Structure 1
Amino acid sequence: MDVSVLGCGRWGSCIAWYLDKIGHNVLSCGLKDAPEFIQLEKYHKNDYLTFPDSIEVSSDLEKAVKRAEVIVISISSQYLRSYFEDISKYNLDGKIIVLCMKGVEATTGKRLSEVVGDFVDESKTPVAVWVGPGHPQDYVKGIPNCMVIDSNNQEVKEKLVNEFTSELIRFYLGTDLIGSEIGAAAKNVIGIAAGILDGLNYTSLKGALMARGTREISRLIKALGGNEMSAYGLCHLGDYEATLFSQWSHNRKFGEEYVKGNTFNKLAEGVMTSKALYKLGKENNVELPIVESIYNVLFNDMDVKEAIGKLFLRSVKKEF
């Protein structure tokens, strides 16, 4: 299968490496001025992995789009709309779009598949999402994991799962696109909360964070028309180990550095996702106390300990 992976960052480069490893014809495409692209083009490696010679590295977006049966996109979720304004200039009929980012558009509250849906006819250009746990640092060592592919198109979903599954990644068929996308995006917000707890030496609270965070995201998924049980699957709860505990989690690290007063310069998708989920919670009358706390800390300068205190002073409720 001819696959073009658009995006040369940590996850994009890992996807290209993985899909080549399991036998697909892969082109890795990035912005010619981006440091991560220059590194891959010049040295065929980055800080995480080395590309084999079989992977072509190019900044030619038109070439990348035209050659591919499957176009995998792994960029910052907040830039997806502007990026698709470029991609949609080319004929996308008959191609499959696979989104490997985890976020919600902050300005509109739209899921990423909905953003793409503003540019393509999904009966001609099906859209899927690839979500779940895993870090490049583990995959390149041969440490396996499980992930999910979801789509409104059953045939496409089954095709991708069959083509992409290997001994390194076991893919499951998602059954709830809304839940898969919201759950995957929301786990990054919970990851920031986990990092804040680590930075305060409140790590023992992370168990409660996991339980209550999953519960509130399940409420949001249900309100948006999805299956609330999706929050307890691989897209959200199943990704917690990689996001709430891992030394490599950008969102957890962002939260830890934030509470210590340090700057974290790498992408933490949970920052803007907290804004998007806060918006969705208000619009759909869903209580999201943890999401709201992170939003207020990041965007309204609320003191972190005050935010935690407010969570503990909320009125008494049944757990379920």
Structure 2
Amino acid sequence: MNISVLGCGRWGSFLAWYANKVGHKVTLWGRSDSSNLKELKLKRSNEYLRLPESIELTDSLEKAIYFGDIIIISISAQKLREFCKQLRENSITDNKKFILCMKGLESSSGKRLSQVFKEEMGAMVSSAVWLGPGHVQDFVQGIPNCMVIGSEDIEFTKVIVNALNSELIRFYYGQDLIGNEIGAATKNVIGIAAGMLDGLGYSSLKGALMARGTREISRLVRAMGGNDITIYGLSHLGDYEATLFSKNSHNRQFGEDFAKGLRFEKLAEGVATIEALQKLSSIYNIDLPICKALYEVIFNKKNIEKELLSLFLRPVKFEF
């Protein structure tokens, strides 16, 4: 099978590496001005991995779309809508199948990425999401993990799982698109909170954060029409170890650096997701205290220690 990966950052380069590893012909696309693509063309490697010579590198979007039977998109979540318009205008996407490999919500609307994709590309274009735990640094060392593929078409889901399943990544069928997408996006938000606790020296509170975080997000998923149990699966709780505790987590590191007054230079998708969650909280009339506290700290410059500790020192109440 021919697979094209659009986006050549940390995750995109890994997806190309992985698709090649499990036996597919792969083209990896990046913008002509992308420093990531320039580095890969020059050295066939980046700080995370080395790409085999059999993977073709290109800055031609039209060529990449034409090549792939399956098109994997791995870009910043906030750039998806604009990118879809570029796809629609410059490429023939008939009979192509797309997989979204980003974790986030559109900050301006609170919409899930599959919703954004469908709005821009049309309901007839097949799409799925690839979610769940795992870091490039672990995968390239042969450390396995479990992930989720989900779509509104179970037969399409099965095709993708059959094409990509391996001993390195075992895939599960995602049956609840709302729960999986909200779960995957919001685990980054909980990861930021965990990093802030690390930065403040309150790492022992991360257990309480995990317990309350899953409850908070499960209420939101239920209000949105999803299955609240999904939050206790791979896309959210199953990704906590990789996000709340790992040194490789951008979101956790952003939170730690923020608490210490340091500048974090890499992408932390959870920041934009916090903005989206404020909108969803209002739309669905759901109290999201952890998300609200992070919003106050990051966007309104409230005191970090005061806001976070207040989450765990609220008035006495029943747990469930």
TM over 0.5, shorter chain: yes
Amino acid at match of 1:211: A
Query: CA offset at residue 67 of structure 1?
Result: 1.5
- For 1:192, the equivalent position in structure 2 comes to 192
Does residue 292 (structure 1) correspond to residue 292 (structure 2)? The answer is yes
- For 2:249, the equivalent position in structure 1 comes to 249
**Worse overlay, 62-71 or 309-318:** 309-318
Q: TM (normalized to structure 2)? A: 0.98
- For 1:275, the equivalent position in structure 2 comes to 275
Q: 2-side partners of 1:306 and 1:144: how far apart?
A: 39
Does residue 57 (structure 1) correspond to residue 57 (structure 2)? The answer is yes
Q: 2-side partners of 1:76 and 1:113: how far apart?
A: 14
Amino acid at match of 1:279: K
Residue pairs, 1:1-320, within 5 angstroms: 1-89=1-89, 90-123=91-124, 125-320=125-320
Query: CA offset at residue 212 of structure 1?
Result: 0.4
Q: 1-side partners of 2:101 and 2:174: how far apart?
A: 14
Which residues of structure 2 form unaligned runs of 5+?
none
Query: CA offset at residue 105 of structure 1?
Result: 0.1
CA deviation map 1:118-173 (0-9, x unaligned): 122333x1110000000000000000000000000111101001111000000000
CA RMSD, aligned part only? 0.9
Q: 2-side partners of 1:180 and 1:152: how far apart?
A: 12
Q: 2-side partners of 1:220 and 1:80: how far apart?
A: 23
- Give the secondary-structure state (helix, strand or coil) at the position aligned to 2:128: strand
Query: CA offset at residue 313 of structure 1?
Result: 4.2
Q: 1-side partners of 2:60 and 2:82: how far apart?
A: 17
Query: CA offset at residue 94 of structure 1?
Result: 1.1
Query: CA offset at residue 310 of structure 1?
Result: 2.7
CA deviation map 1:225-279 (0-9, x unaligned): 1000010000000000000000100000000000100000000000010110121
CA deviation map 1:16-58 (0-9, x unaligned): 0000000011100001211111111111110000000110011
Q: 2-side partners of 1:99 and 1:25: how far apart?
A: 19
Amino acid at match of 2:239: D
- Give the secondary-structure state (helix, strand or coil) at the position aligned to 2:272: helix
Query: CA offset at residue 70 of structure 1?
Result: 0.7
Q: 1-side partners of 2:316 and 2:276: how far apart?
A: 27
Task: List, as ranges, runs of 4+ consecutive aligned residues in structure 1 with deviation greater than 4 Å.
Answer: none
Q: 2-side partners of 1:314 and 1:97: how far apart?
A: 44
Q: 2-side partners of 1:224 and 1:140: how far apart?
A: 37
- Give the secondary-structure state (helix, strand or coil) at the position aligned to 2:129: strand
Query: CA offset at residue 66 of structure 1?
Result: 1.5
Q: 2-side partners of 1:317 and 1:281: how far apart?
A: 22
Q: 2-side partners of 1:86 and 1:140: how far apart?
A: 32
Amino acid at match of 2:254: F
